[in-house]
């Protein structure tokens, strides 16, 4: 018997797990995949580590929105590095990567970004590994290959026949959550969930470079409103060894690479090998409907009409590391109450 059962070991699920474990709850996180992290996971090809859904974040300056959440959780100890300002940001990012930007997104995601941008050495996986270790160190568990297939009266059942009970936090898309839920849910709530549009998915090209052939950049570059270019960690001599190209409209690796030549002419002849992923790859790995990159539009409460079932993650509010962290705080506030969150975060 656990106090809290978290569905999904994406950033939202892991942050909720860590905060709730720190408040003394017995936490179990169930992840369908073979590794934790969801959109923050990294993969290795030909000895090179590639990030998937994390490149940089804002809000980590002293007193910044993310720093206020990460410092009490010990996450400011991670190897964050200040990056150069992004080229072409924010205007191209708004038009090419996001759905229409709300005032809250502008205030909580874009403005912190303009104050400063941070990368994380080791990529999103560094953050994921720290959160998994924190949950385990506090007596919690993060179990992999646990695909949740149903939720009913506080019991979460998995494909392998195991089941877990407790207060439930779902880090997966609300429509998927209620597709699994067998408890009665009023139709108007489900209609409201169905009315929320999902943001588009992203096509990515992961490139292994010939070392030193292309100049390394710490910040991201937004090109022609159609392509984001990001470099992975450099080698020990500071040379670029990998880059990722991301587009919400181009669906062809060669076309993305040709477009990137416009900014990096040295890229021609410097591509040793490349791999691609499409929105369907994302859907397969994270279960996100249509591989939506930034989740569903609009804000909904972490509290649901089903007693003991809460939501978190990018699909209930803001996306990205900062947005998902704010959602995790909102979810934990519903479960623990204001006082506990104020004590832990001063917020
Ligand atoms: C290409 C791309 C680039 C991005 N770049 C940035 C960036 O530079 N900076 C930034 O801040 N943000 C970025 N983001 C956004 C950021 O990655 C996401 O907002 C965030 O990681 C979402 O976390 P989450 O916990 O809400 O969801 P997810 O990461 O999707 O986690 C959900 C988890 O639930 C698991 N799951 C699903 N169904 C089940 C089930 N039935 N049973 C058990 N487990 C299940 C999934 O496997 C997954 O691990 C990017 C996103 C994309 C796609």
pLDDT digits (tens, 9 = 90+) for 77-113: 999 999 988 887 654 444 444 555 677 777 777 777 7
For residues 260-292, b (16+ Cβ closer than 10 Å) or e, as one string? beebbeebeebbeebebbebebbeebbbbbebb
Per-residue pLDDT, 333: 97
Per-residue pLDDT, 89: 67
Q: Whose CA is nearest to atom 15 of ligand 1?
A: 320
Testing ligand 1's pocket by substitution, the residue of 8, 159, 199, 249 carrying the most ligand atoms inside 8 A of its CB is 8
Q: Average pLDDT, stretch 24-42?
A: 97
* Percent of the chain clearing pLDDT 70 (strictly above): 96
pLDDT over 50 at 243, yes or no: yes
pLDDT over 60 at 319, yes or no: yes
Residues 6+ apart with CB under 8 A from 223: 88, 92, 229, 259, 260, 262, 263
pLDDT digits (tens, 9 = 90+) for 168-186: 999 999 999 999 999 999 9
pLDDT digits (tens, 9 = 90+) for 109-146: 777 777 889 999 999 999 999 999 999 999 999 999 99
Q: How far is the CA of 154 from the centre of ligand 1 (A)?
A: 24
Confidence band for 244, pLDDT divided at 50, 70 and 90: very high
* Percent of the chain clearing pLDDT 90 (strictly above): 85
Q: Whose CA is nearest to atom 7 of ligand 1?
A: 54
Which class is domain 4-44+56-81+121-198+294-345? Answer: alpha beta
Q: Average pLDDT, stretch 3-32?
A: 98
pLDDT over 60 at 256, yes or no: yes
Residue 37 CA: nearest ligand 1 atom is 49
Q: Whose CA is nearest to atom 37 of ligand 1?
A: 287
Per-residue pLDDT, 224: 86
Q: How far is the CA of 127 from the centre of ligand 1 (A)?
A: 13
Which tokens in the block code for residue 269? 């002849």
Which residues have any ligand 1 atom within 6 Å of their CB? 7-13, 30-33, 38-40, 53-57, 146-148, 171-172, 202, 204, 246, 286-288, 293-294, 313-314, 319-321, 324
Q: Give just the sign of the alpha carbon dihedral 157, 161, 164, 170.
A: negative
Q: How far is the CA of 8 from the centre of ligand 1 (A)?
A: 9
Q: Coil, strand, or helix at residue 101?
A: coil
Domain ranges of the chain: 4-44+56-81+121-198+294-345
pLDDT over 50 at 156, yes or no: yes
């Amino acid at each position: 018997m656990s106090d809290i059962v978290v569905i999904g070991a994406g950033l939202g699920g892991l942050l909720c797990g860590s905060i709730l474990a720190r408040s003394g709850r017995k936490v179990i996180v169930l992840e369908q995949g073979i590794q934790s992290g969801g959109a923050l996971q990294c993969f290795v090809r030909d000895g090179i580590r590639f990030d998937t859904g994390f490149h940089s974040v804002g809000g980590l300056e002293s007193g910044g929105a993310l720093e206020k959440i990460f410092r009490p959780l010990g996450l400011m100890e991670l190897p964050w590095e200040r990056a150069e300002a992004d080229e072409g940001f924010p205007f191209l990012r708004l038009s090419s990567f996001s759905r229409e930007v709300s005032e809250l997104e502008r205030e909580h995601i874009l403005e912190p970004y303009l104050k400063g941008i941070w990368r994380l050495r080791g990529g999103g996986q560094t953050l994921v590994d720290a959160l998994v270790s924190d949950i385990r160190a506090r007596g919690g568990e993060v179990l992999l290959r646990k695909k949740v297939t149903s939720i009913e009266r506080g019991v979460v059942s998995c494909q392998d026949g195991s089941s877990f009970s407790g207060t439930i936090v779902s880090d997966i898309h609300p429509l998927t959550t209620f597709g699994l839920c067998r408890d009665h849910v009023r139709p108007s709530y489900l209609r409201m969930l169905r009315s929320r549009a999902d943001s588009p998915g992203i096509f990515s090209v992961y490139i292994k470079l010939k070392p030193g052939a292309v100049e390394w950049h710490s910040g991201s570059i937004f090109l022609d409103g159609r392509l984001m270019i990001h470099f992975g960690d450099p080698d020990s001599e500071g040379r670029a060894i990998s880059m990722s190209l991301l587009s919400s409209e181009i669906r062809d690796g060669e076309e993305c690479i040709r477009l990137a030549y416009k900014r990096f002419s040295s890229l021609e002849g410097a591509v040793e090998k490349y791999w691609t992923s499409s929105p369907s790859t994302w859907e397969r790995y994270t279960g996100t409907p249509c591989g939506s990159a930034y989740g569903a539009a609009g804000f909904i409460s972490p509290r649901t009409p089903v007693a003991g079932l809460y939501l978190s993650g990018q699909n209930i509010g803001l996306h990205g590391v900062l947005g998902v962290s704010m959602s995790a705080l909102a979810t934990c506030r519903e479960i623990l109450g204001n006082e506990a969150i104020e004590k832990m975060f001063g917020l």
